[in-house]
Amino acid sequence: METLLESLKTLTLNKLRTGLAMLGIVIGIGSVIALVSLGQASQQAIQNQIQSLGANLLTVNPGSQTSGTIRGAAGGATTLTNADATAIQTSPSITTISAVSPEVQKRVQVTAGRNNSNIQIIGVTAAYEGVHKITLTEGRFINDVDNNSLSKVIVIGQQVEANLFPTQDPLGQNIRINGISFRVIGITASKGGTGFLNQDNIGYIPLTTAQQQILGQTYLNTISLEAKSQDVMTQAENEVGYLLLARHKLTSPAQADFTILSQQDIANTASATTGTFTSLLSGIAAISLLVGGIGIMNIMLVTVTERTREIGLRKALGAKKQVITMQFLTESILLTFSGGLIGIVIGIIASYIFSSLSGSIFVISFPSILLAFVVSAGIGVLFGWYPASRAASLQPIEALRYE
C-alpha cells in the first residue's frame, strides 16, 4: 500500500507528462475496442440480413462453382429455366422442399412523376412472399392471377417509397419501368441493408411480366427453395442437385452447370470476410499500443534519470533492490492500467456514437475488454521492467554524487 500511494503521489506531481505518457495507451486500447465492436456489429448485421431472407433457404444459381455436395464445372449464366423450377416443385423424387420460387432480377431506373431512382427489380411468383419471409405494411403481394394475366403491378420497398413518393401514399400510383407503367399494389416492411444489399430498395413484379416485357429473357437468374426444416438441408441439396443434373443431361456432379447455396454457406462466407477485415483493422490499431508502450518506457527512463539522487538516498538508507524495482514498476503499471481504463471507456463511447449515427447494431465485445485490461497491465510490466531494473541497479554512492 505504501508503494502504491508513493507511486500515485509521484505520478500526480507532473500531470502533463503523466497524461502524455498514457495517451498512446488510451488511443491504442480505445481503437482496438471500437474497431472490434464495429466489426462484430457489421458481422451481426450481415447475419441478420441473410437470416431475414429465410432460415431454411436454398438458392440455385446458374453457372459453376464448388458448393456443398454438388460441384460445378463448365457452364453458363442462362442454364436455369421455368421448366426446371416446375420440375423441382412437381417431381416425386423431391421430398424435402416445401416451396419453390423462380426469380429474375435486374437493376433499372424507374420514375414516378418528377422523381426517379435506381432500384432492383425482381420478377417473382406468389411463392416468393413465403420463401423470403416478406411482410407487407400496406396492400398485397404478387399472386398467381397477376402472373397468368401478365399484370403490370408492382410491390415496392420502404426506400423506393421514400425516393419516389416522399409526400403521398404510393398505393394506386404508377411507376414507369422502361417506359411501361406499373401500378403500386403493396409496400413491404423494412428489412434494412445498404447499397446493393439494401432490401428496401427493391420492386417486385410478376415473373411473366418481367421476363416477357421488361427483360426479354426465358431463363431464370435464381430459383429459391424453402426446405421443410434445417435438418434436411443437405438432403434437399442432393435431391435438387441430382434432379437438375438429370434434366440437363449431365452424368456427373463435376459437370454441373448450376450452383446450390444454403443460407448457412452465405452466412459463413460473410462472417469469414468480416472477421478477417476486423482482425486486420484491430491489428493495425494494436500497433499504437506498441508505440504507447515505448512512450511509457521513455518517460520512465527520464524519471529514473531525474530521481537518481533519490534512488541513491533510498538505497543508502537500506532500501533493497526489489523495493526500488517494485516502486518504478508500480508507477509504470499504474500508467498503463489507467490509460487502459480510459481507453476502454472512450472505445465504448465511440462505438455507441458511431452505431447511433449509422443506425447499425451496438455490440460490445467483453472478451476484447478483458483483453484490453490484460494487455494494458502487460505493457506496463514489459516496458516498465527495464527502467525499474536500471534504477534498482544504481550504486548508492554513484547515485548520491549524480548531478
Phi, psi of 107 (to 5 degrees): -85, 130
Question: pLDDT for 74-125, tens place per residue?
Answer: 334 678 999 999 999 999 999 999 999 999 999 999 999 889 999 999 999 9
Residue that terminates a domain, selected from 158, 189, 221: 221
Q: How far apart are CA 155 and CA 188, in angstroms?
A: 7
272 contacts: CB under 8 Å, gap ≥ 6: none
Same domain, 109 and 204: yes
When mean pLDDT is compared over 65-69, 162-166, 330-334, 352-356, the highest value belongs to 162-166
- Per-residue pLDDT at 194: 57
Same domain, 217 and 296: no
Residue that terminates a domain, selected from 192, 221, 250: 221
Answer for the pair 24, 288: CB distance below 8 angstroms, yes or no.
yes
Counting the structural domains of the chain, the total is: 2
Query: What's the pLDDT band for 227 if we cut at 50, 70, 90?
Result: confident
- Per-residue pLDDT at 102: 95
Is residue 167 situated within a structural domain?
Answer: yes
Compute the CA torsion angle 378, 382, 385, 386 (nearest 10 deg).
Answer: -160
Q: How far apart are CA 25 and CA 288, in angstroms?
A: 7
**DSSP assignments along 89-113, one per residue:** HH-TT--SEEEEEEEEEEEEEEEET
188-197 average pLDDT score: 71
Answer for the pair 237, 68: CB distance below 8 angstroms, yes or no.
yes
Give rounded-to-5 percent helix, strand, coil for the chain: 60, 20, 25
Query: Is the model's pLDDT at 48 over the cut of 80?
Result: no
Q: How far apart are CA 78 and CA 347, in angstroms?
A: 49
Is residue 70 situated within a structural domain?
Answer: no
- Per-residue pLDDT at 70: 40
164 contacts: CB under 8 Å, gap ≥ 6: 110, 111, 112, 113, 115, 116, 117, 156, 170, 175
Strand 153-156 with 180-188, pairing: parallel
Query: Is the model's pLDDT at 324 over the cut of 90?
Result: no
- Per-residue pLDDT at 42: 74
Question: pLDDT for 137-150, tens place per residue?
Answer: 999 999 999 999 99
Same domain, 112 and 41: no
Query: What's the pLDDT band for 196 if we cut at 50, 70, 90?
Result: low
178-207 average pLDDT score: 86
CA angle 164, 165, 171 (to 5 degrees): 115
Three-state secondary structure call for residue 137: strand
- Per-residue pLDDT at 185: 96
Q: How far apart are CA 93 and CA 84, in angstroms?
A: 14
Query: What grid cell was written down for 267?
Result: 452466412
Question: pLDDT for 371-383, tens place per residue?
Answer: 777 777 777 777 7
Q: What spatial distance separates the first Cα and last Cα of the chain, rounded to whole Å? A: 31
Is residue 88 situated within a structural domain?
Answer: no
User: How remote is the C-alpha of 346 from its chain's centroid?
Assistant: 21
Is residue 78 situated within a structural domain?
Answer: no
Same domain, 15 and 126: no
Query: What grid cell was written down for 43?
Result: 458481422
Query: What grid cell was written down for 40?
Result: 462484430
Averaged confidence pLDDT in the chain: 81
Position with higher pLDDT, 35 vs 268:
35
Note down the domain range covering 280: 2-49+268-401
Same domain, 111 and 194: yes
Is residue 334 situated within a structural domain?
Answer: yes
Query: What's the pLDDT band for 208 if we cut at 50, 70, 90?
Result: very high
CA angle 53, 59, 60 (to 5 degrees): 160
Query: What grid cell was written down for 108?
Result: 433499372
Minimum mean pLDDT range among 30-39, 77-86, 228-237, 344-353: 30-39
Same domain, 273 and 356: yes
Neighbours of 286 (CB within 10 A): 15
Tell me the percentage of the chain whose pLDDT exceeds 90.
32
Is residue 276 situated within a structural domain?
Answer: yes
Three-state secondary structure call for residue 155: strand
Query: Is the model's pLDDT at 210 over the cut of 90?
Result: yes
Same domain, 388 and 294: yes
Is residue 257 situated within a structural domain?
Answer: no
Residue that terminates a domain, selected from 186, 221, 256: 221
163-183 average pLDDT score: 93
Query: Is the model's pLDDT at 66 over the cut of 50?
Result: no
Query: Is the model's pLDDT at 271 over the cut of 90?
Result: no
Is residue 258 situated within a structural domain?
Answer: no
Same domain, 10 and 109: no
Q: Classify 110 in phi/psi space as left (phi over 0), alpha (psi -120 to 50) or beta.
A: beta
Position 151: which residue type? S
Position with higher pLDDT, 371 vs 151:
151
